[in-house]
Structure 1
């Protein structure tokens, strides 16, 4: 069935005229005559069956329908342009679109990714932040680096590493002490992570303690946010030390207590949708990533 879509030329002319609020300036941008712009937009209005501009001797102004349509068309044309430039830039190369949990992506994956690029220069890896599972069918992602229990329908899971959480804080909160005793720690503001709402409760439980306010405190979505909040003295945060190595090395953050809690069966996984498991590019990335994770686990002892 034929799609009910206006001509690309009409959409481009409309987007330029809407952005400039002027047929004359749109014509100059597109190297067309003003009458050509008028014809394209008139044809588009006939196609849609509604007016997109109000015309007067002082110029043109978008109607309410025109404003709404212009916003949608601009974003769609931007997407087409991005996809076109991406295809033009590949020149026979393979591109992988990965969804990654943000702090893990920036602190662990990115410092190692150059090694994969050196091994597989024909494969380009693009990263986009995603903190929660999603339907692969609704996105352009080829795979995801995810923290959880690997229960993700329609995917193949590859374990990378567990997550060990340790309380950290600004050295100012220690007030000269080497660490905080549990009673003192429990009275301080406990920084909560949105995606791990029971983290503090599980940490205290692993020590056989019940703390009434273990789920209260400022809620932040990312480990990077927790680290910044802790660094600025807002409270104590539970963060895997390998994600804040620079902050610990610089003394901006210090361990508040030596106890480390491992997040049970949950961990970091590479999730590949079943329809993509035979992709040569993904197989190469998967094999490299699992080797890197295995090496990291051995180094951690």
Structure 2
């Protein structure tokens, strides 16, 4: 069936005027005259057989038909812009922007990155890091490494990497101060992320204990909360409390003895670790090569499995 698509010039004029509520502002944005904008929109209204704007002396307002039409054009132009940016990026750059949690970047990914660069010297990997729990943002990154239980969005392609597991850790000195069973945590500070407070509840359920509440104050001071596992683990190494973190992020600290596991209890988090990108980008060579390398690294890392 033949598509019913009016003049692209007229559609651009209408979208700009609707977004800016002004023919004059639309003309300035499009670098044409206000008369040209008015002419294009009048032609579009004639083609559609209905008015799209109520015109007043100072501004224009969308009619019912215009308000119905505008969201479709706004989304269409947004998609065209995103597609153009993607093609320009693929054609003109040789880098790969990876969105990743700051703790994962610092403690696991960066120490291994030289292996990827050695076999892929033509790809420059850049990191877009965050302290917070966030969703993948395709407008700022090509690929993201996320921990999630929500993989149902059909516009994204998810590649499973590994299950997610939490470990309780503390300094060796703190472990000797009466940490023999989970109930003993009530006498200690529980170091937690203010954006991941559910972590301790997940671990409590796995440990099979009815209640879990650590000290809110220690030595007369309130127990701090953190915005990343990186900071919570630094506080745990310093003996300031008991931390909870993804298992592969504490592996080196456990091997070195900076941290210990006071209890042999791990908690499986909902979901798992994934690489995610826009669905239409999943077959890009850069993304495929980085994905294959990540899968290989994880398969060879006994601390991640």
TM-score bin, normalised by smaller chain: 0.5 to 0.7
Out of 261, 267, 288, the residue aligned to residue 261 of structure 1 is: 267
Distance 2:120 2:109 in 1: 16
Contact 1:201 1:215 in 2 (8 A): no
**What CA deviation, in whole Å up to 9, does each residue of 1:186-229 have, x standing for no partner?**
33111112343211112121122111526965321211111111
1:202 aligns with: 202
1:167 aligns with: 168
Q: C-alpha displacement at 1:162, in angstroms?
A: 1.8
Q: C-alpha displacement at 1:282, in angstroms?
A: 0.9
Question: What TM-score, normalized to structure 2?
Answer: 0.61
Question: What TM-score, normalized to structure 1?
Answer: 0.62
Distance 1:4 1:92 in 2: 26
Distance 2:215 2:274 in 1: 26
- The 10-residue stretch of structure 1 (187-196 or 207-216) with the greater mean CA deviation from structure 2: 207-216
1:239 aligns with: 245
Sort the Cα spacing of 1:152 and 1:134 in 2 relative to 1 into closer, same or farther, 3 A. Answer: farther
Sort the Cα spacing of 1:152 and 1:99 in 2 relative to 1 into closer, same or farther, 3 A. Answer: farther
2:279 aligns with: 274
Aligned-pair Cα RMSD in Å: 3.0
- The 10-residue stretch of structure 1 (180-189 or 207-216) with the greater mean CA deviation from structure 2: 207-216
Distance 2:168 2:274 in 1: 23
The runs of 5 or more residues in structure 2 that have no matched partner are: 1-26, 32-88, 217-222
Distance 2:245 2:225 in 1: 14
Sort the Cα spacing of 1:160 and 1:214 in 2 relative to 1 into closer, same or farther, 3 A. Answer: farther
Q: C-alpha displacement at 1:295, in angstroms?
A: 2.7
Residue 255 of structure 1 aligns to a residue whose secondary structure is coil
Q: C-alpha displacement at 1:135, in angstroms?
A: 6.2
2:144 aligns with: 144
Sort the Cα spacing of 1:125 and 1:230 in 2 relative to 1 into closer, same or farther, 3 A. Answer: same
Distance 1:261 1:134 in 2: 22
Q: How many residues align?
A: 214
Q: C-alpha displacement at 1:269, in angstroms?
A: 0.9
The runs of 5 or more residues in structure 1 that have no matched partner are: 6-86
Contact 2:190 2:214 in 1 (8 A): yes
Residue 296 of structure 2 aligns to a residue whose secondary structure is helix
Q: C-alpha displacement at 1:182, in angstroms?
A: 2.0
Q: Give 1:22-171 correspondences, 5 Å limit.
A: 94-130=94-130, 131-134=132-135, 136-137=137-138, 139-151=139-151, 153=153, 154-171=155-172
